[in-house]
Amino acid sequence: MKNPFALLVLTAVSLCAQSETLDLGSRGRLTIYLPGDWRIDTTNFARQGTMTISPKREEVNASCTIAISIPEGDRFDTKSRLKLRVEADCRSLAEGSVEKKAVAKEFALSSGYGFYCSFTDPDLRGQAPQKGNYKVMSTGKIRLASDVLVDVSLMADDFRGEPYQQLLGAVEGMEFVAGRGR
């Protein structure tokens, strides 16, 4: 972390945020910290784990899904390979969006690297929020280690809105602790 103020803010948020940890066995642990009123549901299987984050308050229209997988091989050993994969995976979403193109942005992570593309639903733009119908979404991948890959989907009504920013901050602030013997 290059900025001491950012480190202070992250530390303060982690002290007053709820957290959830997925145990990845010998590969390590993944912990996410969430400020605000969110519900975190997890599943943890031998080769995959998921976190589904949804709001506790009915008036908040946002959600996040984080899926952790244990790939057999390291197909994304460089940032450029991962970025290309994210853009390729998002092409079909881009076609029906306001943006019309999948342009990957880099996650600001403390460990690993990752990219995501963001899209706006043209049919919902300018309309009042509808519970469960999201105006914006971001989807991407994070490589935490050669054998730990994370798929992320964030959905909300506004990229600049507090719910989206809290979810993005939680993803970018995830802590990965490698398992023993690494």
pLDDT in tens, 169-179: 999 999 999 98
163-169 long-range contacts (CB < 8 A, ≥24 apart) are 163/36, 163/55, 163/60, 163/61, 163/62, 164/62, 164/136, 166/34, 166/35, 166/36, 166/38, 167/34, 167/53, 167/62, 167/63, 167/64, 168/138, 169/13, 169/35
> Which tokens is 170 given?
């939680």
pTM score of the predicted model: 0.86
What does the pLDDT average to over 143-172? 96
Label residue 182 by pLDDT band (50, 70, 90).
Answer: low
Average pLDDT over every residue of 13-35:
82
**Domain count along the chain:** 1
**What is the domain range of residue 130?**
4-178
CATH for 105: 3.40.1000.10
Strands (E), 122-171: 136-145, 148-156
